[in-house]
Amino acid sequence: GTGLTRLVNTGGSDQVPSWSPDGSKIAYVGYPAPGKSDIFVVGVDGSNPTNLTQTITDASESWPLWSPDGTKILFTKRIGSSLNPSDLYVMNPDGSGLQRLTFNSIGAGAYDWSPGGTKIVFQSNSSGNGEIYVMNADGTGQVNITNHSGFDFGPRWSPDGLRILFNTTRDGNTEIYVMNANGSGQVNLSANAASDSSGVWRP
Protein backbone atom coordinates (compact mmCIF):
# COMPACT_ATOMS: atom_id res chain seq x y z
CA GLY A 1 0.00 0.00 0.00
CA THR A 2 2.99 2.33 -0.13
CA GLY A 3 3.80 4.74 -2.94
CA LEU A 4 0.28 6.11 -3.36
CA THR A 5 0.29 8.45 -6.38
CA ARG A 6 -2.50 10.69 -7.63
CA LEU A 7 -2.67 10.40 -11.42
CA VAL A 8 -5.37 12.92 -12.33
CA ASN A 9 -6.76 15.99 -10.58
CA THR A 10 -9.78 17.23 -12.50
CA GLY A 11 -11.85 18.46 -9.58
CA GLY A 12 -14.54 15.93 -10.48
CA SER A 13 -15.02 12.20 -10.21
CA ASP A 14 -12.61 9.90 -12.03
CA GLN A 15 -13.32 6.18 -11.77
CA VAL A 16 -13.49 2.69 -13.32
CA PRO A 17 -9.77 2.42 -14.21
CA SER A 18 -8.62 -0.20 -16.71
CA TRP A 19 -4.92 -1.05 -17.30
CA SER A 20 -3.63 -1.36 -20.85
CA PRO A 21 -2.12 -4.82 -21.44
CA ASP A 22 1.40 -3.41 -21.70
CA GLY A 23 0.99 -1.53 -18.41
CA SER A 24 1.83 1.87 -19.88
CA LYS A 25 -1.62 3.52 -19.76
CA ILE A 26 -4.86 3.53 -17.81
CA ALA A 27 -8.27 4.13 -19.38
CA TYR A 28 -10.88 5.57 -17.02
CA VAL A 29 -14.19 7.40 -16.80
CA GLY A 30 -14.17 11.15 -16.21
CA TYR A 31 -16.97 13.67 -15.80
CA PRO A 32 -16.17 16.86 -17.76
CA ALA A 33 -19.68 18.27 -17.22
CA PRO A 34 -22.72 17.51 -15.04
CA GLY A 35 -24.62 14.49 -16.32
CA LYS A 36 -21.92 13.64 -18.87
CA SER A 37 -19.18 11.04 -18.68
CA ASP A 38 -16.37 10.39 -21.16
CA ILE A 39 -13.60 7.85 -21.61
CA PHE A 40 -10.13 9.20 -20.82
CA VAL A 41 -6.68 7.67 -20.98
CA VAL A 42 -3.61 8.67 -18.95
CA GLY A 43 -0.02 7.48 -18.61
CA VAL A 44 0.72 5.42 -15.50
CA ASP A 45 2.85 8.34 -14.27
CA GLY A 46 -0.09 10.71 -14.67
CA SER A 47 1.17 12.17 -17.93
CA ASN A 48 -1.01 13.39 -20.79
CA PRO A 49 -4.58 12.74 -19.58
CA THR A 50 -6.67 12.74 -22.76
CA ASN A 51 -10.42 12.74 -23.37
CA LEU A 52 -10.94 10.14 -26.09
CA THR A 53 -14.67 10.48 -26.66
CA GLN A 54 -15.67 14.15 -26.16
CA THR A 55 -19.22 13.41 -27.20
CA ILE A 56 -22.44 15.39 -27.09
CA THR A 57 -23.57 16.87 -23.78
CA ASP A 58 -26.18 14.25 -22.91
CA ALA A 59 -24.09 11.18 -23.76
CA SER A 60 -22.57 9.00 -21.04
CA GLU A 61 -19.72 6.60 -21.70
CA SER A 62 -18.39 4.20 -19.10
CA TRP A 63 -16.67 0.91 -18.21
CA PRO A 64 -13.64 0.96 -20.56
CA LEU A 65 -12.01 -2.41 -21.18
CA TRP A 66 -8.82 -2.88 -23.24
CA SER A 67 -8.59 -5.67 -25.77
CA PRO A 68 -5.96 -8.31 -24.92
CA ASP A 69 -3.58 -6.95 -27.57
CA GLY A 70 -4.10 -3.33 -26.51
CA THR A 71 -5.34 -2.16 -29.92
CA LYS A 72 -8.98 -1.49 -28.92
CA ILE A 73 -10.99 -0.11 -26.01
CA LEU A 74 -14.47 -1.52 -25.45
CA PHE A 75 -17.00 0.62 -23.54
CA THR A 76 -20.69 1.39 -23.02
CA LYS A 77 -22.47 4.46 -24.33
CA ARG A 78 -25.90 5.78 -23.41
CA ILE A 79 -27.71 8.76 -24.91
CA GLY A 80 -29.95 10.89 -22.69
CA SER A 81 -31.71 9.69 -19.54
CA SER A 82 -30.22 7.05 -17.25
CA LEU A 83 -33.36 5.04 -18.03
CA ASN A 84 -32.33 4.75 -21.69
CA PRO A 85 -30.49 1.64 -22.89
CA SER A 86 -26.74 1.59 -23.23
CA ASP A 87 -24.82 -0.16 -26.00
CA LEU A 88 -21.35 -1.47 -26.64
CA TYR A 89 -18.87 0.54 -28.69
CA VAL A 90 -15.23 0.00 -29.54
CA MET A 91 -12.52 2.45 -30.54
CA ASN A 92 -8.78 2.70 -31.05
CA PRO A 93 -6.68 3.80 -28.05
CA ASP A 94 -6.43 7.32 -29.50
CA GLY A 95 -10.23 7.66 -29.82
CA SER A 96 -10.36 7.08 -33.57
CA GLY A 97 -12.21 4.29 -35.37
CA LEU A 98 -15.36 4.48 -33.25
CA GLN A 99 -17.71 1.58 -34.00
CA ARG A 100 -21.07 0.64 -32.49
CA LEU A 101 -21.29 -3.10 -31.84
CA THR A 102 -24.73 -3.67 -30.31
CA PHE A 103 -28.23 -2.27 -30.54
CA ASN A 104 -29.55 -3.70 -27.28
CA SER A 105 -29.79 -2.71 -23.63
CA ILE A 106 -26.51 -3.77 -22.05
CA GLY A 107 -25.85 -4.27 -18.35
CA ALA A 108 -23.09 -1.81 -17.47
CA GLY A 109 -19.74 -3.49 -17.05
CA ALA A 110 -21.20 -6.89 -17.95
CA TYR A 111 -18.90 -7.85 -20.82
CA ASP A 112 -15.49 -9.36 -21.43
CA TRP A 113 -13.00 -10.01 -24.23
CA SER A 114 -12.01 -13.56 -25.07
CA PRO A 115 -8.32 -14.15 -24.28
CA GLY A 116 -7.45 -14.02 -27.98
CA GLY A 117 -9.47 -10.84 -28.54
CA THR A 118 -11.51 -12.34 -31.36
CA LYS A 119 -14.79 -12.63 -29.40
CA ILE A 120 -16.76 -10.59 -26.87
CA VAL A 121 -19.19 -12.00 -24.32
CA PHE A 122 -21.84 -9.62 -23.00
CA GLN A 123 -25.11 -9.36 -21.13
CA SER A 124 -28.19 -8.09 -22.95
CA ASN A 125 -31.42 -6.95 -21.35
CA SER A 126 -33.14 -6.18 -24.66
CA SER A 127 -35.79 -8.87 -24.17
CA GLY A 128 -36.60 -7.67 -20.65
CA ASN A 129 -34.69 -10.67 -19.33
CA GLY A 130 -30.94 -10.92 -18.83
CA GLU A 131 -29.24 -13.17 -21.37
CA ILE A 132 -25.60 -13.89 -22.19
CA TYR A 133 -24.48 -13.38 -25.79
CA VAL A 134 -21.24 -13.97 -27.65
CA MET A 135 -20.26 -12.08 -30.79
CA ASN A 136 -17.24 -11.48 -32.98
CA ALA A 137 -15.04 -8.53 -32.05
CA ASP A 138 -16.54 -6.48 -34.90
CA GLY A 139 -20.11 -6.99 -33.61
CA THR A 140 -21.14 -9.63 -36.11
CA GLY A 141 -22.41 -13.12 -35.33
CA GLN A 142 -24.31 -12.33 -32.12
CA VAL A 143 -25.56 -15.54 -30.49
CA ASN A 144 -27.60 -15.99 -27.30
CA ILE A 145 -25.76 -18.76 -25.47
CA THR A 146 -27.89 -18.98 -22.30
CA ASN A 147 -31.51 -18.55 -23.48
CA HIS A 148 -33.06 -19.25 -20.09
CA SER A 149 -36.01 -17.89 -18.12
CA GLY A 150 -33.71 -16.74 -15.30
CA PHE A 151 -31.79 -13.46 -15.32
CA ASP A 152 -28.24 -14.22 -16.52
CA PHE A 153 -25.54 -11.59 -16.01
CA GLY A 154 -21.90 -10.79 -15.30
CA PRO A 155 -20.09 -13.06 -17.80
CA ARG A 156 -16.32 -13.58 -17.46
CA TRP A 157 -14.18 -15.55 -19.91
CA SER A 158 -11.76 -18.17 -18.55
CA PRO A 159 -8.04 -17.51 -19.11
CA ASP A 160 -7.81 -20.45 -21.53
CA GLY A 161 -10.82 -19.20 -23.53
CA LEU A 162 -12.74 -22.47 -23.20
CA ARG A 163 -15.37 -21.52 -20.62
CA ILE A 164 -17.46 -18.60 -19.37
CA LEU A 165 -18.37 -17.87 -15.76
CA PHE A 166 -21.67 -16.05 -15.12
CA ASN A 167 -24.36 -15.32 -12.54
CA THR A 168 -28.01 -16.34 -12.82
CA THR A 169 -31.27 -16.20 -10.87
CA ARG A 170 -32.74 -19.30 -12.57
CA ASP A 171 -32.69 -21.30 -9.31
CA GLY A 172 -34.72 -18.79 -7.32
CA ASN A 173 -31.69 -16.96 -5.96
CA THR A 174 -28.43 -15.78 -7.48
CA GLU A 175 -25.93 -18.56 -8.21
CA ILE A 176 -22.56 -18.79 -9.95
CA TYR A 177 -22.57 -20.93 -13.09
CA VAL A 178 -19.95 -22.00 -15.61
CA MET A 179 -20.49 -23.09 -19.21
CA ASN A 180 -18.52 -23.88 -22.32
CA ALA A 181 -17.80 -20.93 -24.60
CA ASN A 182 -20.62 -22.02 -26.94
CA GLY A 183 -23.18 -22.11 -24.11
CA SER A 184 -23.26 -25.88 -23.62
CA GLY A 185 -22.60 -27.67 -20.34
CA GLN A 186 -24.10 -25.07 -17.98
CA VAL A 187 -23.30 -26.09 -14.39
CA ASN A 188 -24.19 -24.52 -11.03
CA LEU A 189 -20.91 -24.11 -9.11
CA SER A 190 -22.22 -22.57 -5.89
CA ALA A 191 -25.59 -24.36 -5.33
CA ASN A 192 -26.17 -22.52 -2.06
CA ALA A 193 -29.35 -21.45 -0.27
CA ALA A 194 -27.87 -17.96 -0.01
CA SER A 195 -27.20 -15.71 -3.01
CA ASP A 196 -23.78 -16.12 -4.61
CA SER A 197 -22.32 -13.88 -7.32
CA SER A 198 -19.27 -12.06 -8.69
CA GLY A 199 -17.05 -15.10 -9.14
CA VAL A 200 -13.59 -14.63 -10.67
CA TRP A 201 -11.20 -16.97 -12.43
CA ARG A 202 -7.88 -17.98 -10.93
CA PRO A 203 -5.09 -16.85 -13.32
DSSP string computed for 99-113:
EE---S-EEEEEEEE
The answer, yes or no, to whether residue 127 has pLDDT greater than 80, is no
What's the confidence (pLDDT) of residue 57? 66
Closest alpha carbon to 28 in 67, 94, 75, 88: 75
Closest alpha carbon to 89 in 51, 63, 115, 56: 63
The answer, yes or no, to whether residue 128 has pLDDT greater than 80, is no
The answer, yes or no, to whether residue 6 has pLDDT greater than 80, is yes
157-199, pLDDT tens digit by residue?
A: 999 999 999 999 999 899 999 999 999 999 999 998 899 999 9
Burial class (CB in 10 A: 0-12, 13-18, 19+), 109: middle
What's the confidence (pLDDT) of residue 59? 80
What pTM did the predictor assign?
0.92
Contact call for residues 52 and 68 (beta carbons, < 8 A): no
Average of per-residue pLDDT across 92-108: 88
Average of per-residue pLDDT across 50-66: 86
What CA–CA distance (Å, rounded) separates 32 from 151? 34
